[in-house]
Amino acid sequence: EKKRQARWAELPTVTQDGHRVELGANIGHPDECRAVQQVGGEGIGLFRSEFLFMNRASMPDEEEQFQAYRQVAQDMNGKPVVIRTLDIGGDKELPYLNLQSELNPFLGYRAIRLCLDREELFLTQLRAILRASHYGSVKLMYPMIATLEEWRAANRLLAEAKETLARAGIPFDPAIEVGLMIEVPAAALASELFARDADFLSIGTNDLIQYTLACDRINEQVSGLYQPFHPAILRLIRQVIDAAHRYGRRVSMCGEMASDPLAIPLLLGMGLDGFSMSASSVLAARELINHLSFEEMKELAEAALKLEGQEQVKALLLERTRVQI
Ligand code: PEP
Ligand code: MG
């Protein structure tokens, strides 16, 4: 099985009828780049920067962050690397930030909300990422955006970070692409507003599903309600993809759903441009996509979007993808 899959490391990700998509990897640590290169990952679709901040007594400074981001940029050898700004809070805590404990941490002071409130922390990270952009193809992505004001405020701070570096004569990519995660239902429903001026969108289904179904993603007792194939989720995903394409933006997915062999044909058919997943899933996903027909998956997606529940959708996908492979 390993050997059979290994040949897919060298090949592009393209359907039988010539539709190409980007197959990237999610990483949580710079050391994982090696594994990504081994499976022929076409880039890093999500670099969770949290690792730098966790399990330690104090904040990493700009230099330390820069070194880590630059390592990833260099190790990926010119392939695109999407670095996500700090997504802390929720289930991830940092003792040195002295965060209050909250009744609803997933709905509370986390990610971009915290970063916009603690400007120095955010500016430091933005400068470190900008500096790394000089050493590869780095893109920047904000997590948990719910409103256009947050998006604009984050970009104002980015402009400030650029100005600081420029004044000091420190090199960075002035045209660095900036996108956001679509993982809050409000952002998904209003994705057109973001697609208008973001360079790219990335759908974070792990959170999007939890928020849309009001179902804690780590609570086993309600895991039956955590339904990636719920019609509401499929419609939201479709809406985000259509909004992005209306403005000529690329849209990818970096939640777990992107590596689900049952979901891949459907997402492909809905027009998703990029898939990002753990390195260990890349080969199987590429093999699957290379066996599919884009035109047929478009029809499959249309049919799936008409169904009334997750079970019906899964049944259709099981039946149709068995025929395909
Ligand atoms: C997501 O929410 O889908 C996502 C990719 O981010 P995380 O799992 O880090 O919350
Ligand atoms: Mg998330």
Q: pLDDT digits over 28-39, tens only?
A: 999 999 999 999
pLDDT at 95: 86
pLDDT tens, 68-127? Answer: 999 999 999 999 999 999 999 866 778 899 888 899 999 999 999 999 999 999 999 999
CA of 13 to the centre of ligand 2 (A): 25
User: Which residue lies with its CA nearest to atom 7 of ligand 1?
Assistant: 206
Q: Can you give the pLDDT at residue 111?
A: 96
Q: Is 284 exposed, middle or buried (0-12, 13-18, 19+ CB in 10 A)?
A: middle
Interior/surface letters 75-88, b for 16+ CB within 10 angstroms, e for the rest: bbeebbbbbbbbbb
* 215 noted as active-site residue: no
- Residue 166 and residue 257: Cα distance in Å, rounded? 40
d(CA 138, ligand 2 centre) in Å: 20
Tens-digit pLDDT profile for residues 217-234: 999 999 999 999 999 999
Per-residue pLDDT band at 46 (split at 50, 70, 90)? very high
- CA dist., res. 226 & res. 39, Å (int): 30
Nearest CA to ligand 1 atom 9: 48
Element of type H or E holding 47: strand 44-48
Residue 84 marked in a binding site = yes
pLDDT at position 45 over 80: yes
217 annotated among ligand-binding-site residues: yes
Catalytic option among 33, 115, 215, 254: 254
ipTM value for the complex: 0.99
Atom in ligand 1 nearest the alpha carbon of residue 46? 5
User: What are 91's strand-pairing partners?
Assistant: none
pTM > 0.95: yes
Let me know: does 25 contact 44? Beta carbons within 8 Å: yes
Pocket residues: Cβ below 6 A from ligand 1: 46, 48, 87, 183, 204-207, 254-255
Q: Packing angle between helix 310-324 and helix 263-270, nearest 10 degrees?
A: 90
- The tens digit of pLDDT for each residue in 239-290 reads 999 999 999 999 999 999 999 999 999 999 999 999 999 999 999 999 999 9
Q: What separation in Å is there between the alpha carbon of 204 and the centre of ligand 1?
A: 5
Q: How confident is the model at residue 6 (pLDDT cuts 50, 70, 90)?
A: confident
Q: Is 131 annotated as a binding residue?
A: no
